[in-house]
Amino acid sequence: MQSVALRLIVDRENEIKAFKPEEYWSIQAEVKNKKAEPFLIDLKKKDDKTLDKFAIPNKTTADEIEQDLKNAEYTVASLTEGEKKRSPLPPFTTSTLQQTASARLGYSAKRTMMFAQMLYENGLITYMRTDSVNLSKESLVFAKEYLSQTFGNEYALETPRTFKGKSKLAQEAHEAIRPTSTATAEDITVKEEGARKLYRLIWQRFMASQMPEARFKTRKLEVDAKGNSTYQLTTSGSQLVFDGFLKVFSQKFEEREIPEVTEGEKLTLAQVIPTQHFTEPPPRYSEARLIKTLEEFGIGRPSTYVPTISTIQARNYVEKDAGKFKPTEIGEMVNKLLVEHFPQIVDLEFTANMEEEFDKIASGKADWRKIMKEFYGPFHKNLEEKMAEVNKEHNEEVVDEKCEKCGAQMAIKFGRFGKFLACTAFPDCKNAKPLKENEPQKTGVKCPECGDELVAKRTRGRGRRLFYGCNNYPDCDFATWEDPTKVPPVARTAEEKQAALEKRKKKEAAKAAKGKK
């Protein structure tokens, strides 16, 4: 799984590097009638032909349409009213809990599971490693009673709502993740505020799953514009009529009012608004998106997502940049080696198929000896061949620098935390030192506390996270995770400085005590 996860991240990075933005334009018109305020309508058709995303490719085409629309006559062609319903999502599984906690609370998958474990051990939620969306009869009964008593009968379903799992790997061994009672987050006793927030999320999602749909009144307006060509412009809006499950589990929605107009009514043009756009590369994977992608491909289990993500970070194959995964140089190199020499191991379908084979073994439908023999025989043979074939020296780059200890040539080598300089006479000479490109990088931004420059550095040990600290360290210990060239740094308060000083002293004391032992 770690190899597949790394490949997904590297492949996405290669897509981003190869991406070339493409220009396109959209056009809106601001119109009004005698009674209403001006409102915007979007250009959708020209001469009865639907305009797709790239139908207006450049400014020249946009200018031609803009000029024609400025001289066109606008008439209300149709006004359609209707109702739209929004249904609640199923209660949480492990993966959907991790994804939603990431999006709503900013929790990593590891932190989410730590808090979930805490809640489970305190008897507040059901088992938190599950791929099932089933709910017990007991939970459906107490949910209905609570909702009708607290919010009224209109917020409780007559018949409980059930869900069907979508995951290819769902084993349905447990219930969905839900609270074990109707106790709200304010009623429970937990020390960690983070655990309380996660409980609130679980409670809201479960209760919402047993509440009616939210209902919206919708209106769609179509306007004809006749110039040298005939155009159709549209707008739509909706208004909340009944909040339903949104009462306990909020979701983003936009209420947009459509002015009171009648079919055949003439409208007056206020302005035409052409807008230039460029396509954007696919985004890097967040933890939530990576987990969802692995699940969609049928890779992994509820218990494996956290260790998979933790492992590729701990080995410094990937790092986080603004909350999204980016491969490190060593990660790209490892992935390249695996793809070239062990393509089967990093193949998405192969990994998913192996998961299915393991399911068959677990259910007694397949012999584990046969499956392991079919896999391990060819794999072991290929591994022995590659061990002899792959020469590790291709990862070294000899540089024009002599070792100051023995006079041999120095070379750039790859370690767990990236590139470094080492003597080619190793192991006879063990001289090694950091590469200049790994040294602190200047940012050109002044420290808000002492006026010296902030420099980009990396933390020590596992993870090697990028941070920005004062060049005057240790005399000034200001540091921030935010890029100061994008987010202006703010000086700490006196209390924050004191807390940081005490934390630093404790860390140094612990290090000194460990050294004495």
DSSP 8-state code for residue 182: S
- 88 cis-preceded (ω within 30 degrees of 0): no
Contact 484, 468 (CB under 8 A): yes
Q: For the chain, how far is it from start to end, CA to CA, in angstroms?
A: 39
Look up residue 44 and give its two tokens.
Answer: 């959708």
Q: Which pair of tokens denotes residue 376? A: 């391990």
Q: Which helix (H) or strand (E) holds 430?
A: none
Q: Helix (H, G, I), strand (E, B), or coil: what is residue 219?
A: strand
Note whether 40 and 235 are within 8 A (CB): yes
Q: How far is the C-alpha of 413 from the C-alpha of 24, rounded, in Å? A: 45
Q: Is 127 a catalytic residue?
A: yes
Amino acid at residue number 54: F
CA gap 208, 323 in Å, rounded: 29
Strand ranges inside 195-354, DSSP E? 214-226, 230-242, 266-278, 318-321, 324-327
Residue 112 contacts by C-beta under 8 Å, 6 or more apart in sequence? 97, 98, 101, 102, 105, 198
**What is the bridge-based pairing of β-strands 453-458 and 466-470?**
antiparallel
Distance CA 237, CA 232 (A): 17
Are 328 and 317 in contact, with CB atoms under 8 Å apart?
A: yes
| Cα separation, 203 vs 100, whole angstroms | 13
Cα–Cα dist 123/120, whole Å: 5
What whole-number distance in Å separates Cα of residue 62 and Cα of residue 26? 8
- What's the CA gap between 111 and 398, in Å, rounded? 43
**Residue indicated by tokens 């474990």:** 117
- E strand or H helix that includes residue 413: strand 409-415
Cα 246 → chain centroid: 23
- Options 120, 127, 146, 473, the catalytic residue: 127
Are 219 and 59 contacting, i.e. CB atoms less than 8 angstroms apart?
A: no
Sign of the alpha-carbon dihedral angle for 195, 196, 199, 201: negative
Catalytic residues: 127
